[in-house]
Structure 1
Amino acid sequence: MTMPTRTPATATDAAPCCAEFARISRRGLLAGAAALAGTTTVLGSAVVTASAASVVPAEAVLVVLSLRGAADGMSLVVPHGDPVYYAARPRIAIPADALLVKDELFGLHPELAPLLPLWDAGKLASVHATGLPAPNRSHFAAMEELEDADPGSSARVGWLNRLVGLDANSSPLQGLGLGGGVPPTSLVGPEDVITASGVGSVVIPGDDPDEAGRPRLASLHRLWDGDASALGRAMRATFAAVDDFAPVRATSETPANGAVYPNGDLGDAMAEAARVVRGDVGVEVITVDHGSWDHHSGLGTLEWGGMQHNARELAEALAAFFTDLGPLADKVTVVALSEFGRRVQENASWGLDHGYGGVMLLAGAGVVGGYHGVWQPLSNTLDADLTVTRDYRSVLSEVVLSRFGASPAAVFPGFVRETVGAMTGI
């Protein structure tokens, strides 16, 4: 059928369920950030040929929030109208009478309540039964495929790198990866971007006086400003990008408009993203990773890492982010997605194993609120998956077309999109 259109949480360490995914658990995702604190990495082509362009405020900002570990879309947006959902999950299904904003088929997880103001304003949407063009149950391979978004190509270029590259006057500031020194695949490519653990780390390492009181940065300029080599040009581009980022560093660390973020990595990252938007230095794309969605066991628990905790943390972080932005929210769109979904049928450990289809959440500017997508009835067998009826690139194509006026064909080579209807102006 076709669908119609705090108290702060406290994070504590927990072991991930999946051995393959252990290295990118919620804490593991940011493990490198501490080691890289106080550093900036300008990445992209091996030879940087120009300094950063003059700062031009961004007309639109896209925040891509990756729910690492394969989030169960049928827990976040529950298909209560499909009877197989309850038959396949007798212990972990969300009761229909607890769901929020139900229609005849779907309802939101009750812990997503902080997002109801966005829903009521028509600025929150879900697109169910989305995913890769073919099943891929490996976390790492699926992440790579999802973020490269160019099946069959030998070029390792991410879709967000292609997006920022469509601007002839692109600057390293246009693409920012928050959370560490290694960019997600979506940002990798020939266009220069920045990755950082936070706003305060976008500085030149050692930018303080030495033991004799002499400024180290002045020494770095003397060393590199006249150097005609590729490294010299790269260093000058780095200096310029860090200088142009100064208005962001000057923004208040205190959230605006009374916004209160949940304790934990996601709240911290979204607060940093809001500072970037408030600084208005031309950043158009921000990536944020959030781990521990690999629910092989204990999916329904309230403890850190359980679905109830994760859903609440996600909702509180997004609600605080849009509150923090105030009027600036009118130019910001958030897309939350995961590398794949979970199986239909629960396992013996009160959890779900790796599956196929999932859900994408969209919030903010340009979003057509409500439930979107095409649903095929579930099957209650051991290996049953949620069938993907919309390639995730169709959703992202609408986002880049609606918010940036970008050609979907240039961002997703060779892909022919289907209409989803989740964004305006399509």
Structure 2
Amino acid sequence: MSAVPKPAVQPLTVSQLTAQVRGTLEAKFLSVWVAGEVSNFTRASSGHWYFTLKDATAQIKTVAFRGINLRLRFDLRNGMEIIARGRLTVYDPKGEYQFVVEEVQPKGVGGAELALRQLKEKLLAKGYFSPARKRPLPRPPQRVGLIASATGAAVRDMIEVFAQRWPFTELVVRPSRVQGEGAAQDIARALLQLNWLHRNNKLAFDAIVLGRGGGSAEDLWAFNEEVVADAVFKSEVPVVSAVGHETDVTVADLVADHRAETPTAAVIALTPDRRELLASLGELRERMGESVARRLRLAKQRLDQIAARQAFRLPLQRVHNAGQRLDDIAERLHRAARHRLLEAAQELAGRSAQLESLSPLQVLGRGYSLTHTGDGRLVREVDHLRPGDLLLTRVRGGTVRSLVTATETTDPERTDPGARDSDPDQTPAAGG
């Protein structure tokens, strides 16, 4: 059982004890380097980072405040091996000691290299490097924007090469810092400004060139910043990145529509060489002259051959021959027409004779007659007539009008008076 402190002993409160421990730790471990693996990494909305540094047998709570994080070129991730400099302190509310980071370096690789690697991975995932989105360069361009240092050799070289190769292109120079603090933001701002002029029909650009000479990786770092990559990606005007030398590849090179190894190479990619064009035009003119001369010779030969033909030596001969053929054809047509008319007349006479033989009028010529009632009905039977009926009798040479005074029936079977009342629509007997 623990001993009860004597009244003369003044105990410490938890807060007092924690404060003394914190003071001892902070005085003893004011600045210390610690190597370990990042785990349990979280990013607070305040911008602070909280994680655990651990090795095979131990771990320590770690915090990196927002001001430190903003200066880091790379992001921390779980599983990353780092070397961190900082101080030890105690977080009073939980009574835990923690490591407050003030500087971080990746273990085994430089911070800048790691930051560049992480940025490339991020932009690759977002499609910034996709060949499908890269636009062809206009050649030759009418107006080009140059973003470069106003005092650097790059802008002078580009202007000089443009003047030599294709002086017809209008150049608009937008001076910008290309290295050092704030250079990335200035480059991005220049891209935005030239795109604003293009979008608002102030100055229409065919291409924009980002140019600077070579330098160390640190000198070229502005072109590896995400803000520049975003501005290049969002540019409405095709962008040519001409940064550094052939061995230097920046993020801007990867995002741009075209990557040129040097500023001079950018101008060559954009323009034809007028001297080469003039030489080519000279060759084309010579070849064209030879081709025209050859075609003229062939045309003359063809013309001589045509002129030697009979149609040109005796131009009316074909007309005379055609006239004779026309006369022959006309004569044959007349003979055929006469023959056809003769055949038709003979056929018509034969048919007329046939019709004449079948005509009822021929029967009248042999002493027969046709009798109709006054209303035009043919009289076929005597019992269809009544005394007083008007009759029209057709004989050869004319018609006889007569009135019925009486009728007599010669057929004994038709003497029945009732026969007179039979259907009047029956066909009447023939008259004679």
TM-score for the superposition, normalised by structure 1: 0.19
TM-score normalised by length of structure 2: 0.19
Say which structure is richer in helix: 2
Q: Is the strand fraction higher in 1 or 2?
A: 2
- Whichever of the two has the greater Rg, that structure is 2
Structure with the bigger RCO (C-alpha within 8 Å, sep 6+) is: 1
